[in-house]
Amino acid sequence: MNFNFTYGPGTTLEQMIGFETAGRLWSAYFADNVTVNIYVEPSNNLPTGVAGGALMGIEADRQYGNWRTRLAADRKSADDRTVHNNLPGATGSFTAWVNEVGPEGMTSNKLQQSSSTLNLSRANAKALGMRGGQDAGLDGYILMNSQLPSLGFNWNYDINAVPPNSIDFFSVAVHEIGHVLGFYSGVDASGWQLTPISGFGDDDDDDGGGLGSTDLDPRGPLKNATGLDMLRFSNEDQIDLVVGGSPFFSLDGGTTKNADFATGVNVELGGDGFQASHWKSSGGGLGIMEPDISPGSKRSLSGLDRRSLDVIGWDIRAASPNLATLQTQSREAIAARLGVTVAQLTANPGLAQQLNRDRSQDVAFMVSQSQIYEWRRSRTSRARGWWHEIAPAALASRSTAEVQVESATDLSTGWSGILPEATDALTNSRIQRMAAAPAPNLGQLDPALLAASFNSPSLPVPALTPVAVDALAPGYLIGTELSQLAV
């Protein structure tokens, strides 16, 4: 496994080193001959309390039978063989519990449904040979919050210790990469989703309402089931994609519980408030793929994290990487890309800015190729999102004035401009007031596509400026919550 990171404007040398080191850590544990292409960018548009988020390239609606065949061919570890021996008996389809969908949206009632397709991240598809391992297209897009000081926190770049009131950058980077590699679930995928920081309230109706009956897909979460979801079980020995309940990760078809999963953002349906694309929050005891991180703490890539990726198609190997060594290698690699010595780079960290470039068009292309992603105003979107937040307790001691920050672009709408508060008829969500923000160059996008994507009769003002990625449905990002805020 190799990584090819590119960086957006404003990414600092410390942040580049953080991601290069995080990538080398994952690479140390997996032997697959693939290159994972990730674009990293700092952002001041993330919801309050969100440390980072990941948008994955997706291989949508892949045949379950083909996935199963590829997974069988990839068996190398004992865990691989256990999973294969306990997959459902039918080779062309699977059956799972899902939330029943009614006229007003998802309900707490559950029913069994079957499907012959599932979705994979592009990177995971590469590992299984379902996409060329050296395909040069973007496999993921990661945003890191550049507004932490407004919450009273700072990024920590020291791999050895994390000062109080600092968020460990390396931990968040490792976490977000894990999502791109395929650690994600389709459970939260119905409707527009944001995961607010506990104690801050929700800025829309995403976790309770739904689209109108004409827009509902009766398959519910099943339409977005993933490879990891094939290992998500309940006590009824059945794949369980229901919001809420007690879902767990199982290698042997539900007989043994290996770890608990988070149960979903929709607390009205019984979710725990964390997006289902994570382990259950346990203060770091389960691994890097838990949903939240507390200020002053680090998270580690655990054996459980590695096993979960191994059994969905990656090839695990024994390793004992030294983080200091990986960090040194990362600094050397960046210096080599710039054609300077490490000493020159250390003395002039601003040289790293030469590596920054705007890849908005590449992100837009990744989105369009993923098929499941629709622009914010589409009435047929198959949205998904997983945020990594900052633990809520850390913000509880701060005044409202200290933590109330207006984002330049409101992710509940994905538009820049000044809007009065109003109700979006499409999503039944409140439109928040937002400040004007410049749009990136969209010149290479098809004008007809832009016109169809960005015109919305439900908005109360006639002229708005679309911001390419932010114009997507808000819940697409999978992220890290600041625990006591969310990863």
Q: What is the pLDDT of residues 389-401, one digit of tens each?
A: 455 454 444 443 3
From CA 89, how far away is CA 61, in angstroms rounded?
20
Domain identity same for 298 and 425: no
Residue 249 pLDDT exceeds 50: yes
Task: Determine the structural domain holding residue 425 and report its residue range.
Answer: 407-466
- Print the SS3 string covering the chain: CEEEEEECCCCCHHHHHHHHHHHHHHHHHECCCCEEEEEEEEECCCCCCEEEEEEECEEEEEEHHHHHHHHHHCCCCHHHHHHHHCCCCCCCCEEEEEEEEECCEEEEEEEEEEECEEEEEHHHHHHCCCCCCCCCCCCEEEEEECCHHHHCCEEECCCCCCCCCEEEHHHHHHHHHHHHCCCCCCCCCCCCCCCCCCCCCCCCCCCCCCCCHHHCCCCHHHHHCECHHHHEECCCCCEECCCCCCCEECCCCCCCCCEEECCECCHHHCCCCECCCCECCCCCCCCCCCCEECCCCCCCCCHHHHHHHHCCCCCECCCCCCHHHHHHHHHHHHHHHHCCCHHHHHHCHHHHHHHECCCHHHHHHHHHHHCCCCECCCCCCCCCCEEEEECCHHHHCCCHHHHCCCCCCECCCCEECCCCCEEECCCCEEECCCCCCCCCCCCCCCHHHHHHHHCCCCCCCCCCEECCCCCECHHHCEEEEECCCEC
The pLDDT assigned to 104 comes to 78
Strand 94-102 relative to strand 140-145, pairing: unpaired
Confidence class for position 481, pLDDT limits 50, 70, 90: low
Instruction: Please tell me the least confidently modeled range out of 1-10, 254-263, 285-294.
Output: 285-294
pLDDT, tens only, 188-224:
863 222 222 223 233 333 333 332 333 445 555 677 8
Residue 35 pLDDT exceeds 50: yes
Q: Does residue 52 lie in a domain region?
A: yes
Domain identity same for 137 and 264: yes
Q: Does residue 452 lie in a domain region?
A: yes
Q: Does residue 487 lie in a domain region?
A: no
CB 369 within 8 A of CB 137: yes
Domain identity same for 309 and 219: yes
pLDDT, tens only, 77-87:
999 999 999 99
Domain identity same for 381 and 427: no
Domain count, the chain: 2
Q: What is the pTM of this model?
A: 0.80
Q: Does residue 233 lie in a domain region?
A: yes
Domain identity same for 235 and 374: yes
Q: Does residue 401 lie in a domain region?
A: no
From CA 381, how far away is CA 469, in angstroms rounded?
15
Residue with tokens 């379950």: 64
Which residues lie closer than 8 Å to 469 by C-beta, 6 or more apart? Answer: 55, 141, 360, 363, 364, 367
The pLDDT assigned to 406 comes to 29
Domain identity same for 428 and 378: no
The pLDDT assigned to 381 comes to 33
Q: Which of 140, 388, 121 is nearest to 228 (CA)?
A: 121
Domain identity same for 286 and 412: no
The pLDDT assigned to 325 comes to 98
Neighbours of 460 (CB within 10 A): 11
Pick the most confident of 100-104, 209-213, 296-300: 296-300
Domain identity same for 415 and 387: no
Domain identity same for 166 and 258: yes
Q: Does residue 19 lie in a domain region?
A: yes
Domain identity same for 300 and 412: no
Q: Does residue 191 lie in a domain region?
A: yes
Domain identity same for 445 and 478: no
Q: Does residue 400 lie in a domain region?
A: no
Residue 339 pLDDT exceeds 70: yes
Domain identity same for 195 and 94: yes
Residue 168 pLDDT exceeds 90: yes
Residue 382 pLDDT exceeds 60: no
Neighbours of 425 (CB within 10 A): 12
The pLDDT assigned to 219 comes to 55
Residue 365 pLDDT exceeds 50: yes
